[in-house]
Amino acid sequence: MVRKINADTKVQYLKGVGPKRARLFNSVGIVTVEDLIYHFPRRYEDRSNLLPISRLQEGKMQTIRAHILSTRQRRSWRRRGFNIFEIIAGDSTGRISCVWFNQPYLKNYIKIGRDIILYGRVERYSGRLQMVSPEFEIVSDKDNAGSSSDIAGLTPIYKIPDGLTQRYFRRILRGCLEEYLPEVVDVLPYDIRVRNNLLNLAKSLLEIHFPPDMSHLKESYRRISFEEFFLFQIPLILKKLRKKQKQGISHKVDAILLEEFQGRLNFKLTPAQTRVIEEIKKDMSSSYPMSRLLQGDVGSGKTIVALFACLIAIRGGYQAAIMVPTELLARQHYYNSSLLLKDINIVLLVSSLAPSKKIRTYNEIKEGRAQLIIGTHALLEGRLNFKRLGLVVIDEEHKFGVSQRAFLPKRGSNPDVLIMTATPIPRTLAITLYGDLDISVIDEVPPGRKPVVTKFVTDEQRYDVYRFVESKIREGRQAYIIYPIIEESCSLDLRAANQMYLFLKDRVFPDCRVGLVHGQLNAKQQHGVMSEFKAGNIDILVATTVLEVGIDVPNASVMVIEHAERFGLSQLHQLRGRIGRGEFESYCILISQSDSEEARMRIEAMVEYSDGFCIAEEDLKIRGPGEFFGKRQHGLSELRIANPLTQLQLLKRARHEAKRLLRLDPNLEWRQNSALKRKLSERFPGYENYIAA
């Protein structure tokens, strides 16, 4: 029986796979033919350079073509049950031995007298040249080892599970492409392809896996990236169009309100803050609901801007809600805003409230007596009802998922929404990636701030670090010492907050007041410790990443981060953002022993850059867009090869085309857009909701 395969065919039914191997495919997320075809190579190796054996260099990955002179199967005498398959291959210039371990079936493929192409690292073993587990391909009689071969030329290397070989994977994939591609329907309309010089889908899929040369590879790469950007832009643009058509609240914005607000502050707003406030005022007074992303580095003063927006809503008789990711931060905002907005009824809603208190708070919110509501995820609680929710502020948005961010605004009828982030990305990039939002940027920090001096040290210098901390305490400053874990464990060889707290308190800093805060303390305890620290009753605070977001204690001027390699780059930057908030010179000391390449890059970036935009850009480079954006923006994880950072021009083009298409065919009803429409529903279930009803 011959069945045609389609995108949804399970890989199990492909020739050469079967149920057992299918499970291996599944383990890397490949279930269907579509998954397989969109499992793009991790990299390519250029094996087009066939070398004579006499010219091989030790220690390098190289490719040869040789004749199989002998083969031998034996058991290892060192390790029982260990099978070694060895061959000697030669050309007119020399000989080399190759070994493979525990693959006894190789003897069925690799036979004396045939020609073989071998690719691997060349070593010298007992005086002889050797490759260990090289990739290989038998050259069949009709082959000339040239372009028809899988491994001479640009060879794709995939992320594959243990138990499959690259060669096998390539064979299955090639077979699958040959069967599938003739059936494939292009999702990009013809005119878009022509205008942008893009290959058709079938050709680009074939050549991204098996590129005949570099220029073909580039073209396929470009085409597939374009498609990814394009598919990702459409729902964003639809969403934005849809929002602008909705009826929101036209808040009344009093001209003197800002003056009054400024009067409450003991500092002057920066020009950037003033500019952003103007943008927000305009949005809030307009009839469509605001959806604005406010980007600004740690410490740039976003909170004040948000509070002003809240004041606008509240003066017009609406409620405003601020959602933050940690209870510690919620309490801090609650405390600070209570000082600033004495005439407004502010309530705190966090999960640790006593049940009776919680019910009272719910009632206050429901009846409208609560004007400003500050809380954590507790605000997402289903039982909570607002009387007249007019503004939603989401602080530290990167800590929330897309659906969490979308949930709170649904508690009102099209309230204005302000989303704040301290891991900013360049504006041009933001405009496209957050295509459904309008964007404001606070691009300066309040005057008088000095950049934090950041140093990287190794474990041996630990006591110098301690002495340095002590000297700063003597000058009247305070310090944080951060650990990646709370409790020591036998599986991780890491210093932990609990144990180090005791050690530091008793042995290293007997004359200082040392405190401890971490996520296993309950919220009240955490808040208690933080208040003591803020009041200056604690000199050194040993902590975990509970401190990461928001905490503001200007007198703290030193931060030591242990096992810095364990933290992500944005996380390090956020942590460092806790210091350098006052008038004092501040110091961040990163202690690390790790020799991992990535960790080193992160630490170097920290030492080199203090600006959050640069840090975010570095982070994006190190982690790649999928990881970096994670749950921040819907659809970004769908970008498999497209990289917004390196392909910004292409992204802009794709956005431009997507806009054009939606102008012409807003509901995607044209026949030529039907493949596109189908693809979108598959990729972004629910996107149709954005299509104008």
The site for ligand ADP (CB under 6 A) is made up of 267-270, 273, 296, 298-304, 422, 446, 552, 581
Question: Could you tell which of ligand ADP, Mg ion, none binds residue 295, using a CB distance below 5 to 8 A set by kind?
Answer: none
3-state secondary structure of 138: strand
Angle made by CA atoms 464, 467, 470, in degrees to the nearest 5: 150
Between 228 and 297, name the residue whose CB sits nearer to ligand ADP.
297
Nearer to ligand ADP, 299 or 409 (CB): 299
Q: Write out the binding residues for Mg ion, residues 529-558 only, by CB under 5 A.
A: 550
Alpha helices in 251-408 (DSSP H): 255-264, 271-285, 302-315, 327-340, 355-367, 402-407
Of ligand ADP, Mg ion, none, which one does residue 273 interact with (CB within 5 to 8 Å by kind)?
A: ligand ADP
- 50, two tokens: 């066939």
Residue 105 phi/psi, 5-degree rounding, is -70, -15
Cβ of residue 487: shortest distance to ligand ADP, in angstroms? 30
Whichever of 424 and 550 has its CB closer to Mg ion, that residue is 550
**Cβ-proximal residues to 248 (8 Å cutoff; 6+ apart), any chain:** 286, 287, 288, 289, 290, 414, 415, 416
Q: How far is CA 300 from the centre of its chain?
A: 23
Query: Smallest distance from the beta carbon of 644 to ligand ADP, in angstroms?
Result: 24
Nearer to ligand ADP, 136 or 334 (CB): 334
Residue pair 116/139 in contact (Cβ under 8 Å)? The answer is yes
Judged by CB under 5 A, the number of residues near Mg ion is 1
Work out what residue 267 binds among ligand ADP, Mg ion, none; the CB cut-off runs from 5 to 8 Å by kind: ligand ADP
Least distance to ligand ADP, CB of residue 606, Å: 17
Report long-range pairs for 660-665 (Cβ below 8 Å, ≥24 apart).
Answer: 661/189, 661/192, 661/234, 662/234, 662/237, 662/238, 662/241
Question: Would you say 248 or 612 has its CB closer to ligand ADP?
Answer: 612
- Measured distance CA(469)–CA(504) in Å, rounded: 12
361 contacts which partner out of ligand ADP, Mg ion, none, CB within 5 to 8 A by kind?
none
Nearer to ligand ADP, 39 or 302 (CB): 302
**Smallest gap, in angstroms, from Cβ of residue 581 to Mg ion?**
11
Instruction: Tell me whether residue 206 or residue 422 sits nearer to Mg ion (CB atom).
Output: 422
DSSP string, 243-290: HHHS--------HHHHHHHHHH-SSPPPHHHHHHHHHHHHHHHSSSPP
The least distance separating ligand ADP from the CB of residue 129, rounded to whole angstroms, comes to: 60
Closest CB 49 distance from Mg ion, rounded Å: 54
Q: Which partner from the list Mg ion, ligand ADP, none does 301 bind, CB cut-off 5 to 8 Å by kind?
A: ligand ADP
Question: Closest-CB residue for Mg ion?
Answer: 550
Which of 101, 267 has the CB closer to ligand ADP? Answer: 267
In the complex with ligand ADP, which residue's Cβ is closer, 112 or 265?
265
Residues 333 to 392 in contact with Mg ion, rule: CB under 5 A: none
> If 0-12 CB within 10 Å is exposed, 13-18 middle and 19+ buried, where does residue 689 land?
exposed
- Residue in 372, 542, 405, 369 with CA at minimum distance from that of residue 469: 542
CB of 177 to ligand ADP, least distance (A): 50
299 binds, among Mg ion, ligand ADP, none (CB under 5 to 8 A by kind): ligand ADP
Closest CA to 386 of 418, 408, 417: 408
Pair of tokens at residue 35: 């998954």
Residue number, 216 or 578, with CB nearest to Mg ion: 578
Q: What values do phi and psi take at 648, rounded to 5?
A: -60, -40
DSSP strand pairing (372-375 vs 346-349): parallel
User: Could you tell which of ligand ADP, Mg ion, none binds residue 633, using a CB distance below 5 to 8 A set by kind?
Assistant: none
Residue closest to ligand ADP, measured at CB:
301
298 interface partner picked from ligand ADP, Mg ion, none, CB below 5 to 8 A per type = ligand ADP
**Which of ligand ADP, Mg ion, none does residue 592 bind to, with CB < 5 to 8 Å depending on kind?**
none
In terms of C-beta density within 10 A (0-12 exposed, 13-18 middle, 19 or more buried), how is residue 612 classed?
buried
Binder of residue 581, out of ligand ADP, Mg ion, none (CB less than 5 to 8 A by kind)? ligand ADP
By C-beta, is 216 or 331 nearer to ligand ADP? 331
Name the minimum Å distance from CB 674 to ligand ADP: 46
Of 298 and 346, the one with the shorter C-beta distance to ligand ADP is 298
CB-nearer residue toward Mg ion: 550 or 644: 550
Alpha-carbon gap, residue 290 to 515, rounded angstroms: 43
| Orientation angle between helical segments 674-683 and 214-245, nearest 10 degrees | 80
258 binds, among ligand ADP, Mg ion, none (CB under 5 to 8 A by kind): none
Q: CB of residue 260 vs Mg ion: minimum separation in angstroms?
A: 23
Q: What does the block give as tokens for 301?
A: 């003063």
Q: How far is the CB of 574 from ligand ADP (least distance, A)?
A: 9
Residue 171 vs residues 146, 178, 208: alpha-carbon distances, Å: 17, 11, 15
d(CA 277, CA 255): 12
Q: Decide which of Mg ion, ligand ADP, none touches 378; Cβ closer than 5 to 8 Å per partner kind.
A: none
Residue whose token pair is 């199967």: 73
Based on CB atoms, which residue is closest to Mg ion, 412 or 550?
550
Joined together, the tokens standing for residue 137 give: 């391909």
Q: Looking at beta carbons only, is 324 or 486 nearer to ligand ADP?
A: 324
When CB distances are held under 5 to 8 angstroms depending on the partner's kind, the choice from Mg ion, ligand ADP, none that residue 643 binds is: none
In the complex, minimum distance from the CB of residue 272 to ligand ADP, in angstroms, rounded to a whole number: 9
CB of 543 vs ligand ADP, minimal distance in Å: 18
Contact of residue 644 among ligand ADP, Mg ion, none (CB under 5-8 Å per partner type): none
Which burial class, exposed, middle or buried, applies to 431 when counting CB atoms under 10 A from its CB (0-12, 13-18, 19+)?
A: middle
Task: Name the residue type at position 284.
Answer: M
Query: Considering only CA atoms, which of 508, 561, 518, 514 is closest in space to residue 541?
Result: 514
Bridge partners for 131 per DSSP: 98, 122
Region of residue 618 (left: phi > 0; alpha: psi -120 to 50; beta: else) = alpha
Which residues on neighbouring strands pair with residue 71, listed in sequence order?
87
Tell me how far, at minimum, the Cβ of 330 lies from Mg ion, in Å.
Answer: 12
Q: Which does 365 bind (CB under 5 to 8 A by kind): Mg ion, ligand ADP, none?
A: none
CA 494 to chain centre: 25
Q: What is the smallest separation between the CB atom of 552 and Mg ion, expressed in angstroms?
A: 8
Minimum separation from the CB atom of position 267 to ligand ADP (A): 4
Angle at 429 between CA 428 and CA 432, to 5 degrees: 95
Residues that bind Mg ion (CB under 5 A): 550
